[in-house]
Amino acid sequence: MSQDTRETLTPEQLKARVGSELGVSRWHVIDQKMVDGFAEVTHDHQFIHVDPERAKAETPFGGTIAHGFLTLSLLSLFSFEAVPNMAGRAVGINYGFEKVRFLTPVRTGARVRGRFVLKDFVERGPKEVQWRYEVTVEIEGSDRPALVADWLTMAVLE
């Protein structure tokens, strides 16, 4: 794994950034190999994901599309690239979602990235904070995002 080069902010600095964009990840290609691997792991072999010829012939997408949950699962990668580290964090925990909407199918071969806006930062105790992000997964060249979500994460402090 490459060295983490993200900036590190204190909890106070992060709290001061509520309402602002924290960062944007790099672009990542969702290729057929990735889609097929996700289908294998999740047992979701619907033809719109894994059969390029049939998807081209029988859907309006022109070929296969990524699973919505595959796109959603990339948020961990995107956040590692886009969201600053927090000083004093011992561990981060995925706490879930308030809302997830899949707005535009991601065609196989498309590039996507995550955009993170910090919507809330709450101290839940002396050693615990909760963050809420508004996350948008953008599709390169598309006016509409693949998905939008309100994502909750927690951090346990040292």
Q: Could you state, in order of their start, the residue ranges of all structural domains in the chain?
A: 8-29+74-157
Q: Mind listing the pLDDT tens digit for each residue in 100-121?
A: 999 999 999 999 999 999 999 9
Distance between terminal CA atoms of the chain? 24
pLDDT at 52 > cutoff 70: yes
Mean pLDDT of 138-145: 98
- Split at pLDDT 50, 70, 90, the class of 56 is very high
Mean pLDDT of 52-67: 97
129 three-class SS: strand
Q: What is the mean pLDDT of the chain?
A: 95
For residue 78, what are its two tokens?
């995107």
Q: What is the pLDDT at residue 3?
A: 64
Q: What is the pLDDT at residue 24?
A: 97
pLDDT at 27 > cutoff 90: yes
Q: What is the pLDDT at residue 5?
A: 76
* pTM of the model as a whole: 0.93
pLDDT at 6 > cutoff 90: no
Q: What is the pLDDT at residue 131?
A: 94
Specify the higher pLDDT residue, 156 or 3: 156
pLDDT at 73 > cutoff 70: yes
Q: Which residues contact 127 (CB under 8 A, 6 or more apart)?
A: 156, 157, 158
44 three-class SS: coil
b/e per residue 12-22 (b: at least 16 CB within 10 A): eebbeeeeeeb
Q: Which residues contact 60 (CB under 8 A, 6 or more apart)?
A: none
Specify the higher pLDDT residue, 40 or 3: 40
Fold of 8-29+74-157: Thiol Ester Dehydrase; Chain A (3.10.129)
